[in-house]
Amino acid sequence: MKINAKDFKNKIVNGDMTRREFTMSLAAVGLTTTMVPLMSKKAQAAAKINYFTWGGYDDPAFFQKYQEKYGELPDFSFFASEDEGLAKVRSGFKPTIGHPCSDSFPRWVRAGVTEGLDKSRLEHWDSMWPELSDMSGQYDSDGNVLFAPFDWGNSSVAFRTDLAPEYVGNHSWKIMFDPKYSGRLAQYNAPVAASVIAALVLGMPRDSLFSLNDDQIAAVRVKLTEQQPLIRFYWDDQTTAEQALASGEVVAAYSWNEAPVRLKRQGLPVEYMNPKEGILFWVCGLTKFNSDYGAGDETALYDMVNEMQSPEVGKYVYEEWGYGHSNVKSFEMADKAILEEVNLSNPKAMMDSGVFFQDVPDDINAKLQSMFEEIKAGL
């Protein structure tokens, strides 16, 4: 995450910084909210579990029943990427439950740090979207749940319609490679995402996007090398891309659902693409660490998972975060006008047509990581 110290200070002074922005800023410099002495020593000592997640997911609205029962929120710790999180756990950090995404939790499983959740203790499992409760590698050999979905959404392009009018009604990932906008594009700093976008633009088959062979990787490398001089910056924190879109510094940026919603609410002419090559679909969820790599009260863990998968929390996720939720009932409860605004009015169609992020084999992931770093360095 890139932090502008002046902007950070001004937001604190003016009271404009949200809890999510504050937490993400702390996480970016290696701090967590559990390091801030907001609770008494007695309360800290009574903490039941540690939730290892992305910056901003310490939202108290996710844990109201938990807090009522235990008198406090879970402890929180944060990672900037799932690979970073896995490395921290393998080096000795012992959280209770983590929050990886569908394309990365299998790496955690292969690393031997997780164990399945007892499906019979998951109160809302039968209300999950079927597309999210029956994914590849989601269960262990005994039928336990290795990955309990929580939130989902899209990865696509947010763009300024006043600055790139030719892409209005002509949605395509090609805008991210358009030399007309050299120096005015922002890409997510993620090797797999960048490689998949390039592969889609090159017309590669969808069933090969997450298992590229060497020839395909070579072609993707050429495409991303062409893109590199067009990129204004590779972002780690989506807020950086949002601010650049708002100011007109960039014309188009890889983004998640909530960014264009926030920009539209500011009155900015921004559109979120449904690219003809395919919109990307992500789902993130909850994974339990085993006794060798985790620690915490098991009853409290299930209480937290069940609350996070509840319809009430899901309604909040739709309406306040602009993301989808794993529980079908939460979609049915959510305000329909807001669902339209955040482009989530038809989840089933989105899941059927979108390109789901999938597990990338470790050897291919290593090749993409190395390739991407070399391209960014101009090699």
Helix (H) or strand (E) holding 51: strand 50-54
143 and 289 both lie in a single domain = yes
160 and 295 both lie in a single domain = no
Number of domains in the chain: 2
71 and 175 both lie in a single domain = no
220 and 312 both lie in a single domain = no
Cα–Cα distance, 48 to 348 (Å, whole number): 36
Cα–Cα distance, 315 to 151 (Å, whole number): 11
Q: Do 252 and 229 form a contact (C-beta atoms < 8 A)?
A: no
203 and 340 both lie in a single domain = no
Cα–Cα distance, 158 to 145 (Å, whole number): 35
Residue (of 94, 2, 77, 73) closest to 33 by Cα position:
77
User: Which residues 6+ apart lie within 8 Å of 154 measured at CB?
Assistant: 256, 257, 272, 279, 280, 281, 282, 343, 350, 354
30 and 126 both lie in a single domain = yes
Cα–Cα distance, 89 to 167 (Å, whole number): 44
38 and 118 both lie in a single domain = yes
Full-model pTM:
0.80
135 and 13 both lie in a single domain = yes
Per-position pLDDT tens, the chain of length 379: 333 333 443 443 333 444 444 444 544 444 444 433 334 333 433 448 999 999 889 999 999 999 999 999 999 999 988 989 999 999 999 999 999 999 999 999 999 999 999 999 999 999 999 999 999 899 999 999 999 999 999 999 999 999 999 999 999 999 999 999 999 999 999 999 999 999 999 999 999 999 999 999 999 999 999 999 999 999 988 899 999 999 999 999 999 988 998 899 899 999 999 999 999 999 999 999 999 999 999 999 999 999 999 999 999 999 999 899 999 999 999 999 999 888 899 998 888 888 999 999 999 999 999 999 999 998 7
68 and 83 both lie in a single domain = yes
Cα–Cα distance, 331 to 136 (Å, whole number): 24
301 and 219 both lie in a single domain = no
Give the domain CATH number at 181: 3.40.190.10
48 and 68 both lie in a single domain = yes
Residue 280 pairs in a beta bridge with: 155, 355
Residue (of 326, 348, 325, 188) closest to 252 by Cα position:
188
164 and 100 both lie in a single domain = no
Q: Do 256 and 154 form a contact (C-beta atoms < 8 A)?
A: yes
Provide the domain limits for residue 312: 5-152+282-356
User: Which residues 6+ apart lie within 8 Å of 245 measured at CB?
Assistant: 158, 159, 160, 186, 253, 259, 263, 268, 270
| Separation in Å, CA 159 to CA 170, 281, 338 | 12, 18, 21
